[in-house]
Amino acid sequence: MSGGVVSHRQEGAPQGGPLSPLLSNILLDELDRELERRGHRFVRYADDANIYVRSPRAGERVLASVERFLNHRLKLRLNRDKSRVAGSWKCDYLGYGMSWHSQPRLRVATMSLRRVRDRLRELLRGVRGHKMANVIERVNPVLRGWAGYFKLSQSKRPLEELDGWVRHKLRCVIWRQWKQPSTRARNLMRLGLSEERACKSAFNGRGPWWNSGAPHMNQALPKKLWDRLGLVSILDTINRLNRMA
């Protein structure tokens, strides 16, 4: 309404607001019932939906019929730029994807993995002078919340790799904190390495990222040590949540 005069709008409620999913559920409930009547398998959250059919030809037919239903029955316009017919393994949805198997499994979408790594990189900037307990306290809420959201994932390898990457980043923080080769050698010996191996590792001239992923740092700072320090393991958290379900 502008100046007390009602005018037609071409755009809906802003995405991300609390009103958007509510209005979508109210308006698209009729679409849900129509898809159920036709016997289609589908999933919808707010105005984002996937419909599953047996062939690309069927997909094109259903896409066209759903567009007609939205236009004529609900007076809504389908966003063609965001609509397509593709294999289920190519269509990520709400952060999830599907694996390429005869019996598809839910997996974490590649973009979701990239985003959480970017988020953790941001959190770990400028923490060189912080105690590791404080660093872990900073990243744990992100890891715990992420694990809670993706607890339905059935593909373990990406979760194991993400856990390993987090530990790699934290070992890199520690390697940088040690600063001097002599300090690194002394700390590596304190963590169980022989004097010869600790000195060779500390004075190898390689960069922090290489060293933090090398065998000497993996041996000095293994997973069980991070568990004792309270670092959240995404895979362990998901397994625990699924056992409780």
Same domain membership, residue 203 and residue 160 = yes
Contacts of 73 (CB under 8 A, 6+ apart): 30, 34
Same domain membership, residue 226 and residue 118 = yes
- Of 119, 126, 47, 59, give the one whose Cα is nearest residue 86: 59
Same domain membership, residue 214 and residue 142 = yes
pLDDT in tens, 195-209: 999 999 999 999 999
**Does the predicted TM-score (pTM) go above 0.85?**
no
∠ Cα 67 71 76 (to 5°): 100
Full domain range(s) for residue 57: 19-85
Same domain membership, residue 234 and residue 147 = yes
pLDDT in tens, 13-39: 666 667 778 888 888 999 999 999 999
pLDDT in tens, 87-145: 888 889 999 998 887 778 899 999 999 999 999 999 999 888 899 999 999 999 999 99
> Residue 1 above 60 pLDDT?
no
Same domain membership, residue 113 and residue 232 = yes
Structural domains in the chain (count):
2
Give the per-residue pLDDT at 145. Answer: 97
Give the per-residue pLDDT at 10. Answer: 60
**pLDDT higher for 234 or 18?**
234
